[in-house]
């Protein structure tokens, strides 16, 4: 019988080190394969961050594909307008591209002029979104003075008041019926 010289443990440790080195060499390849592709960028700019009710608001959006050919510029950029403290969507617009800017170039420009009577007064969050890649940018603006021509805000206030009034009346009727049923049974 041969005497154990301990060489078996050296062979096992060499195998473990070899497997660890192979794993460390493959780790960057695994990480590169899991990295998502570069998304296009969207930059939203407004003519002013403080808008008065009698002046128009000009918004421009710059879309950049970063030289990646499979990114297609959208036909329109979606602009959503939210009231900041409540997070209520108050308006939605489509921003068309400027003529001649969305050819084979990497950058496309979109622009729209919004009448400030079409948006409510207050602090607003503007969110521009590319509907294809879902890239977005946002900007805060303040509109001072309520536009007389903003019908959807007035309709929303009327709907909220009407809903509250009907809810209170129905709650009172249900309480009266429940009280009458309790008195009859007892």
DSSP-assigned states of every residue in 71-129: ----S-EEEEEEETTT--EEEEEEEPBPTT-SSSSSEEEEEEEE-GGGS-SEEEEEEEE
Residue-wise pLDDT tens digits, 134-183? 889 999 988 886 655 556 666 766 788 889 899 999 999 999 999 999 98
Q: Is the pLDDT of residue 5 over 60?
A: no
Decide: pTM greater than 0.75: no
Q: What is the pLDDT of residue 1?
A: 47
**Structural domains of the chain, ranges and CATH numbers in brackets:** 41-151 (2.60.40.1930)
């Amino acid at each position: 019988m041969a005497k154990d010289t301990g060489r078996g443990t050296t062979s096992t440790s060499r195998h473990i080190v070899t497997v660890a080195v192979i794993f460390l060499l493959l780790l960057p390849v695994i990480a590169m394969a899991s990295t998502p592709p570069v998304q296009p960028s969207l930059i939203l700019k407004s003519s002013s961050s403080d808008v008065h009710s009698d002046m128009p608001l000009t918004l421009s959006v710059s879309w950049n594909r970063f030289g990646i050919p499979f990114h297609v510029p959208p036909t329109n950029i979606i602009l959503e307008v939210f009231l900041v403290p409540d997070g209520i969507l108050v308006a939605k617009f489509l921003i068309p591209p400027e003529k001649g800017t969305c050819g084979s170039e990497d950058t496309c420009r979109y622009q729209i002029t919004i009448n400030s009577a079409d948006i409510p007064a207050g602090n607003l969050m503007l969110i521009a979104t590319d509907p294809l890649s879902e890239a977005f940018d946002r900007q805060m603006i303040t509109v001072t003075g309520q536009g007389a021509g903003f019908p959807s805000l007035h309709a929303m206030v009327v709907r909220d008041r009407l809903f509250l009034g009907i809810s209170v009346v129905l709650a009172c009727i249900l309480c009266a019926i429940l009280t009458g049923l309790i008195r009859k049974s007892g």
